[in-house]
């Protein structure tokens, strides 16, 4: 038998439970919209994957907290396309992930993938399901090229959008910088045999030729091989003014390290956004990394005034410093959320097709500026930023693993 | 650099690679010679060895890109690191034999070999989960001393790799040829039944083979780290496959064959990656190195299955 006091306690406990659970019960009635997030969380690019994944999750969390879309609760559905066996992104795993997204009816859009090689495997599957994908960093131009429509738009409309520019700008614009500003006359080009690495190296090489730079040679590296000394010895023999490496970190770290061991330290060295990662500094480290140029296919906004709040919140929440692709991932998520919102406002049913149509016509204010896409899914404002690794010993706040401050911003690359 | 310098430099590159492959190939050969078993877990014992070495060097306070050691400190740190790494890897090899392979010893067919592949993946994933996926900067206590031979550069780390490999291979040859245990190993390799009847403790021989092979793999892993200043959980597969090719090329089961095979594969890899210029065009190159190395594996298996120095073993079954 309950005493009076315990009755009172029990009653207040029930009241508390009911009181707290009421608004939640109302929320439970919200429609759950899942946003697929695919990144290469295992392998050589894991650190950067963590950054972009958190960027997307943060946008989702903020949208839920602010009830941006009435009656909709967003959820992130994170999948990893990196495998232990590949040591980096694995196209086969990416295809499995795409099927998982498509199989889950609540998934109305995807942020990612991070890598072009993964995107190539995912897009055809997403196309049949009309699932809009917005990548934050897959920059290979082939995927949005209308010539490849049969492969990447089998269902007709483009489903693949980017909040970054492509290697069709990234490679050539850096080549312009090499020719115009650094006065490079002779060049050697390496790539890591991946979709991204090959593409950006080709684009760089073509523009360099147009600018009158003589190509002394081109080689493909096996990203899993440990030893590049034979190729680098060949480059030493040819002694070019500059070396360009197209590829991601698995090969990149070893290239940076062995280039320092073998080639003259005065040689100009550069790569694309695939080199922008903390591992360059933790695994290759200074002095090997010193002087390497790299690009990002987005405006450099991670230390601009308008992103201060974002950066501070992100750092507090995840204890990591966001880089520019964290911001493009965040922006891409904003675009998806905004598209869901406009579908709702237009009174249409929330289907993948309707969300895709809204993404295609999006005009969303984001951290990097207003994001809008052209008819192929590419971002309209294409900006390539150039960075150079420099060991600033005076800057003790900049941690070694933090690529966003180890790579010092140089400026916007000249567009041709 | 003149053409001669380049070839000299590629020979230096190739010999250093070859020294590492040789050490790794010896492990395949020792175990195969006695058990007729291809031990695929050997790949990742090599990888684990490099992480044991990394841990030891950090314990000694050697930091990536930190100050180099000299004199007695350098020799002491290197000796201790090699000793611990080899002991640790050796014990790992013995554990693998004891836990995963001994229960299968009398089962015919490929069960043991498939088990070694399983063990290999266990090691691979244990390291992936415990140290993470990113490559690690390998601390090097070596001063960056180098000698110029014409236009070619010979660095201290290359000399170190050659000296240590030669020392270990010499030690192993002495052990196999001139000690009682070595004699027992050779006897077991020839005919385990007869050896057992002559009073050889076959279990001890097998354990010794696993210990020695794994210890050499561990030394190879540590040398990999010291040479490239980098390690990660994926290094075992590539190096292991090439070393396996080397063992087959030299004649699997044959100790000098493994050493020779390793050196040859290392040199081939270096020169194939470099390629050559003829008829105004550059031929081969880095993308061809794997094609050539593994074509050799196929060709040797087809045309000279006993390898360069091996003899076809009579069918033991």
List the one residue out of B30, B1, B19, B12 whose CA is nearest residue B184: B30
Cα–Cα distance, A38 to A329 (Å, whole number) = 11
Q: Which residues of A touch B (CB under 8 A)?
A: 42-44, 46-47, 82, 84, 87, 193, 217, 219-222, 224-231, 233-234, 236-237, 239, 249-250, 253-254, 257-258, 261, 278-279, 282-287
Encoding tokens for residue A32?
């759950």
**Is the omega angle on the peptide bond into residue A113 within 30 degrees of 0, that is, cis?**
yes
Cα–Cα distance, B156 to B175 (Å, whole number) = 28
Interface test with chain B among A114, A188, A191, A229, by most B beta carbons within 10 Å: A229
Report the half-sphere exposure of A16 (CA within 13 A, side-chain side). 6
Q: What is the ipTM of this complex?
A: 0.85
pLDDT at site A27: 54
Chain B residue nearest residue A48, CA to CA: B134
Interface test with chain B among A86, A234, A248, by most B beta carbons within 10 Å: A234
Cα–Cα distance, A45 to B222 (Å, whole number) = 25
Taking only the tens place, the pLDDT of each residue in A241-264 is 999 999 998 999 999 999 999 999
Q: Do B125 and A84 touch (CB under 8 A)?
A: yes
* Assigned CATH topology for domain A168-296+384-412: Rossmann fold (3.40.50)
Torsion from C-alpha of A106, A109, A115, A120, nearest 10 degrees: 90
Cα–Cα distance, B53 to B85 (Å, whole number) = 5
Taking only the tens place, the pLDDT of each residue in B54-97 is 999 999 888 776 777 877 888 999 999 999 999 999 999 999 99
Q: Which residues of B touch A (CB under 8 A)?
A: 1, 5-6, 9-10, 13-14, 17, 64-65, 124-125, 128, 132-137, 155, 224, 228-230, 232-235, 237-239, 269-275, 282, 285-287, 289-290
Q: How far is CA B208 from the centre of its chain?
A: 17
Cα–Cα distance, A40 to A117 (Å, whole number) = 11
Q: Do A46 and B235 touch (CB under 8 A)?
A: no
Cα–Cα distance, A156 to A215 (Å, whole number) = 40
**Is the omega angle on the peptide bond into residue A287 within 30 degrees of 0, that is, cis?**
yes
- Domain A31-166+304-371 and domain A168-296+384-412 have a common topology: yes
Report in angstroms the alpha-carbon separations of B8 from A233, B17, B145, B312.
Answer: 10, 14, 18, 36
Query: Helix (H, G, I), strand (E, B), or coil: what is residue A177?
Result: helix
- For B14-38, letters b (16+ CB in 10 Å) and e give bbbbbbbbbbbbbbbbbbbbbbbbb
- The answer to whether residues B94 and B210 touch, using CB atoms and an 8 Å cutoff, is yes
Interface test with chain A among B46, B126, B133, by most A beta carbons within 10 Å: B133
- The answer to whether residues A272 and A171 touch, using CB atoms and an 8 Å cutoff, is yes
Q: Do A228 and B224 touch (CB under 8 A)?
A: no
Q: How far is CA A69 from the centre of its chain?
A: 25
Interface test with chain A among B24, B132, B134, by most A beta carbons within 10 Å: B134
Chain A residue nearest residue B230, CA to CA: A283
Q: Do B273 and A279 touch (CB under 8 A)?
A: no
Q: Do B238 and A47 touch (CB under 8 A)?
A: no
Q: How many helices (H) and strands (E) does chain A have?
A: 14, 14
pLDDT < 50: residue spans in chain A: 1-2, 15-26
- The answer to whether residues A130 and A356 touch, using CB atoms and an 8 Å cutoff, is yes
Cα–Cα distance, B300 to B311 (Å, whole number) = 13
List the one residue out of A136, A137, A145 whose CA is nearest residue A168: A145
Of A224, A283, A286, the CB nearest to B230: A283
- The answer to whether residues B54 and B310 touch, using CB atoms and an 8 Å cutoff, is no
Give every CB contact of residue A210 below 8 A, 6+ residues apart in sequence.
Answer: A416
Give just the sign of the alpha carbon dihedral B188, B191, B192, B195: negative
DSSP state of A1: -
Chain A residue nearest residue B5, CA to CA: A237
Cα–Cα distance, B153 to B149 (Å, whole number) = 6
CATH superfamily for A31-166+304-371 is Response regulator (3.40.50.2300)
How many residues can be counted in chain A? 416
Which chain B residues have a beta carbon less than 8 Å from that of A249? 135
Cα–Cα distance, A213 to A235 (Å, whole number) = 16
A 10 A CB-CB count for A153 gives: 20
- The answer to whether residues A94 and A38 touch, using CB atoms and an 8 Å cutoff, is yes
Give every CB contact of residue A119 below 8 A, 6+ residues apart in sequence.
Answer: A94, A113, A133, A135, A138, A140, A143, A160
Which chain B residues have a beta carbon less than 8 Å from that of A261? 155
Q: Do A234 and B289 touch (CB under 8 A)?
A: no
Encoding tokens for residue B284?
């081969």
Chain A residue nearest residue B237, CA to CA: A224
Of B65, B128, B285, the CB nearest to A219: B285
Q: H or E element: which one contains A408?
A: strand A407-412
Cα–Cα distance, A126 to A137 (Å, whole number) = 18
Strands A293-296 and A72-80: unpaired
- Return the beta strands (E) in A164-284 as ranges: 186-191, 214-220, 242-246, 268-271
Of B6, B128, B230, the CB nearest to A257: B230
pLDDT at site B317: 38
Torsion from C-alpha of B176, B179, B184, B188, nearest 10 degrees: 10
Question: What does the domain layout of chain A look like in residue ranges?
Answer: 31-166+304-371, 168-296+384-412
Strand partners, A245: A190, A271
- Return the beta strands (E) in A261-406 as ranges: 268-271, 293-296, 364-366, 369-371, 385-389
pLDDT at site A12: 52
Of A226, A230, A282, the CB nearest to B228: A226
Cα–Cα distance, A104 to A110 (Å, whole number) = 12
List the one residue out of B208, B275, B189, B262 whose CA is nearest residue B17: B262
Encoding tokens for residue B279?
């008829």
Q: Do B10 and A279 touch (CB under 8 A)?
A: no
Q: Do A84 and B134 touch (CB under 8 A)?
A: no
Shortest distance between the Cα of B187 and any Cα of chain A, in A, equals 38
A 10 A CB-CB count for B301 gives: 13
Q: Which residue reads 């040479």 in tokens?
A: B227
Burial group, residue A145, by CB count within 10 angstroms (0-12, 13-18, 19+): middle
Which chain B residues have a beta carbon less than 8 Å from that of A233? 6, 9-10, 13, 274
Give just the sign of the alpha carbon dihedral A149, A153, A159, A162: negative
Chain B residue nearest residue A234, CA to CA: B274
Which chain A residues have a beta carbon less than 8 Å from that of B233? 84, 87
Taking only the tens place, the pLDDT of each residue in A276-310 is 888 899 998 888 999 999 999 999 988 888 889 99
Residue A126, φ and ψ in degrees, nearest 5: -65, -35
pLDDT < 70: residue spans in chain B: 65, 277-282, 311-317
- Return the beta strands (E) in chain B as ranges: 136-137, 146-149, 152-155, 230-231, 276-278, 281-283
Shortest distance between the Cα of A126 and any Cα of chain B, in A, equals 28
CA angle A213, A219, A222 (to 5 degrees): 145
Encoding tokens for residue A305?
């005034």
Cα–Cα distance, B180 to A388 (Å, whole number) = 61
Strand partners, B146: B155
């Amino acid at each position: 038998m309950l005493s009076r006091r315990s009755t009172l306690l029990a009653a207040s406990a029930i009241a508390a439970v009911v009181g707290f659970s009421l608004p939640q019960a109302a929320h439970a009635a919200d429609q759950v919209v899942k946003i697929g997030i695919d990144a290469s969380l295992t392998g050589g690019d894991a650190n950067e994957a963590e950054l972009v994944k958190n960027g997307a999750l943060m946008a989702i969390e903020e949208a839920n907290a602010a009830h941006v879309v009435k009656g909709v609760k967003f959820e992130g559905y994170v999948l990893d396309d990196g495998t232990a066996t590949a040591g980096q992104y694995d196209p086969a795993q990416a295809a499995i992930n795409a099927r998982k997204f498509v199989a889950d009816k609540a998934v109305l859009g995807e942020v990612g993938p991070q890598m072009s090689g993964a995107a190539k495997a995912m897009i055809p599957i997403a196309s049949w399901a009309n699932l809009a994908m917005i990548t934050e960093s897959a920059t290979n131009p082939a995927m949005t090229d209308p010539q490849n429509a049969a492969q990447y738009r089998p269902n007709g409309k483009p489903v693949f959008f980017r909040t970054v520019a492509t290697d069709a700008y990234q490679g050539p614009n850096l080549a312009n910088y090499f020719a115009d500003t650094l006065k490079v006359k002779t060049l050697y080009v390496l790539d890591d045999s991946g979709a991204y690495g090959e593409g950006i190296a080709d684009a760089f090489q073509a523009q360099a030729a147009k600018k009158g730079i003589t190509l002394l040679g081109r080689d493909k590296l096996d990203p899993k091989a440990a030893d590049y000394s034979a190729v680098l010895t060949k480059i030493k023999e040819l002694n070019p003014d500059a070396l360009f490496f197209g590829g991601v970190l698995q090969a990149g770290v070893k290239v940076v390290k062995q280039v320092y061991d073998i080639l003259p330290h005065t040689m100009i060295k550069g790569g694309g956004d695939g080199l922008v990662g903390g591992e360059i500094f933790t695994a290759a480290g200074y002095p090997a990394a010193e002087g390497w140029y790299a690009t990002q296919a987005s405006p450099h906004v991670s230390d601009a005034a308008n992103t201060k709040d974002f950066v501070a919140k992100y750092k507090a929440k995840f204890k990591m410093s966001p880089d520019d692709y964290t911001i493009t991932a965040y922006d891409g998520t904003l675009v998806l959320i905004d598209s869901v919102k406009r579908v709702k406002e237009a009174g249409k049913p929330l289907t993948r097709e309707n969300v895709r149509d809204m993404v295609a016509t999006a005009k969303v204010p984001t951290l990097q500026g207003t994001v809008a896409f052209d008819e192929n899914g590419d971002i309209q404002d294409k900006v390539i930023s150039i960075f150079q690794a420099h060991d600033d010993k005076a800057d003790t706040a900049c941690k070694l693993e933090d690529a966003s401050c180890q790579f010092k911003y140089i400026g916007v690359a000249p567009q041709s | 650099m003149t053409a001669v310098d380049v070839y000299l430099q590629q020979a230096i590159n190739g010999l250093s690679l070859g020294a590492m492959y040789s050490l790794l190939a010896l492990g395949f050969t020792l175990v195969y010679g006695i058990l007729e078993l291809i031990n695929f877990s050997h790949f990742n014992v090599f990888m684990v060895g490099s992480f044991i070495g990394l841990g030891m060097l950090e314990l000694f306070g050697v930091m990536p890109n930190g100050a180099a050691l000299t004199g007695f400190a350098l020799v002491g740190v290197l000796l201790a690191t090699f000793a611990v790494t080899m002991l640790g890897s050796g014990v790992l090899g013995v554990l693998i034999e004891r836990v995963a392979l001994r229960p299968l010893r009398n089962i015919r067919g490929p069960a043991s070999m498939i088990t070694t592949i399983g063990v290999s993946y266990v090691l691979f994933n244990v390291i992936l989960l415990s140290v993470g996926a990113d490559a690690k900067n390998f601390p090097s206590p070596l001063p960056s001393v180098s000698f110029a031979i014409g236009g070619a550069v010979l660095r201290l780390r290359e000399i170190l790799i050659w000296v240590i490999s030669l020392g270990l291979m010499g030690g192993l040859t002495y052990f196999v040829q001139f000690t009682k245990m070595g004699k027992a190993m050779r006897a077991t390799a020839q005919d385990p039944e007869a050896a057992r009847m002559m009073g050889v403790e076959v279990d001890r021989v097998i354990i010794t083979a696993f210990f020695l092979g794994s210890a050499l793999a561990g030394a190879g892993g540590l040398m990999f780290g010291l040479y490239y200043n980098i390690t990660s959980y994926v290094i075992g597969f590539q190096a292991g496959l090439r070393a396996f090719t080397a063992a087959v090329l030299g004649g699997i089961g044959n100790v000098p064959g493994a050493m020779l095979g390793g050196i040859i594969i290392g040199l081939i890899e270096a020169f194939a990656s470099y390629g050559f210029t003829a008829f105004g065009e550059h031929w081969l190159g880095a993308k061809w190195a794997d094609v050539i190395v593994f074509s050799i594996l196929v060709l040797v298996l087809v045309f000279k299955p006993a390898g360069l120095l091996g003899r076809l073993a009579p069918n033991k079954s």
